[in-house]
Structure 1
């Protein structure tokens, strides 16, 4: 079963290789959008709810702000609380867990290019940051999550929390991890850090990285070699 719906302002696709329609995943993602979008005035984020889920999201934002030295920041001067850098990955990871709880084991849930691939090997193309018709690498992943941060889809929406200005130094940065909460948060924080974010993301526990810097150089974690189906041009991480 293959299905695509528009949620959270992006296409969300679900490819299932087990019996089931995956409705539970789409229902949850719509609920998460209603509850945790900073762009909805009646959301928990805007109203300041004390729900356990929003408390978890807030803790994750604070944790990555600390770990990234302030490059990742959900509270910028003159702006309201914006946990968008956490919410998508966190919500999609929860949707994947709901699919598993419903007995669906083999699936790929993809939200705007950030995905959870479960139950079998899935080929995942990493989009070329300057040409939407090309990929700069293809990965074969199983029971892993992949998230990419860049400016090619939504413009300069990732800000460096240390300066409040758009992030500079990278064209895209992809993280492979065991869960999408981690992959999405690390890729966002690392992209905000610029070129220094490549090594920082590589050093995060359980994270593998593929990055394209603004000089068009491709760098990746050596451990990613086992997952690469189509080799990128570039070099591996420095020691």
Structure 2
């Protein structure tokens, strides 16, 4: 079964390679047993976008950022996201910060991986054991092995490495799509010490937040990410040198 939708400003693709244990009534072939689960996945991602996007004026995130919703009145989901934001802010000494001076409150660096990982949980709960959920290049891979390419930071039509991934997640932060959009919260200046940084971790919640937080640290980011439990790193610095951890499962 394969399906693609545009959510959160980027394409999200789902591929399921195993057969459903519980089939939808009247569904035939091509992963028919997981159609309801796929519907739930994309419904959740659209819901997460509506609730947590800082670009939608009436989202919970926007209303909280404007001070219209007190912390004690937040949903349990947003409280969890804020807890993760604080965890990574503290772990990086303030380099990663979703509350930057002169900018709107923006927890997207945590929301994306967190929400896609929850979507993957919906698939697992429905009985899917071998699937790949790709959200704008950040991937949750269940079962496997899956081959996951890391985009070349300067050549959009090439990859600079391919990973063999089983029951894990891969996320990349870089300058090649949106320019110098990641700021060091300690200085307020764009981070220029790296071109891209990829993290392999047990969940996309960890991989995505770690990749962005490490990128915000600049040159010290790869070593910081590599020291995080369960994380492997592939990075390209501003001098075009590759930094990778020995446990990275290169194909």
| TM-score, L = length of structure 1 | 0.93
2:171 to 142, 147, 154: 147
1:35 aligns with 2:51: yes
- Mapped to 1, the partners of 2:102 and 2:15 lie a distance apart of 41
Take 2:146 and 2:162, find their aligned partners in 1: how far apart are those partners?
A: 10
SS at match of 2:3: strand
1:121 to 145, 149, 155: 145
How far, CA to CA, are the matches of 1:6 and 1:156 in structure 2?
24
1:118-197, aligned counterparts within 5 Å? Answer: 118-197=142-221
Give CA deviations for 1:38-81 in whole Å, capped at 9, x if unaligned: 11111010112510000000010011000011110010112232
What is the rounded CA distance, in whole Å, between the counterparts of 1:72 and 1:117 in structure 2?
26
**Equivalent residue number for residue 4 of structure 2:** 4
Pick from 98, 102, 107 the counterpart of residue 83 of structure 1.
107
Native 8 Å contact 1:168 1:192 kept in 2? no
Provide the rounded CA distance (Å) in 1 between the counterparts of 2:181 and 2:128.
34
CA distance in 2: counterparts of 1:8 and 1:139, whole angstroms: 26
Which residue does 2:14 correspond to in 1?
Answer: 14
Give the 4+ runs in structure 1 shifted more than 3 A: none
Aligned-pair CA distance for 1:179: 0.3
Instruction: Give unmatched runs, 5+ long, in structure 1.
Output: 230-239
Aligned residues: 227
- 1:103 paired with 2:147, answer no
Report the equivalent of 2:23: none
Is 1:59 matched up with 2:75?
Answer: no
Residue of structure 2 equivalent to 1:228: 250
Structure 2: 5+ residue stretches without partners: 19-30
Residues 1:201 and 2:217 are matched in the alignment:
no
Question: Whose Rg is larger?
Answer: 2
Partner Cα distance (2:98, 2:155) in 1: 30
1:132 is paired with a residue whose SS is: coil
CA shift, 1:166, in A, is 1.2
Q: Aligned equivalents of 1:118 and 1:228: distance in 2? A: 17
Structure with greater strand share of residues: 1
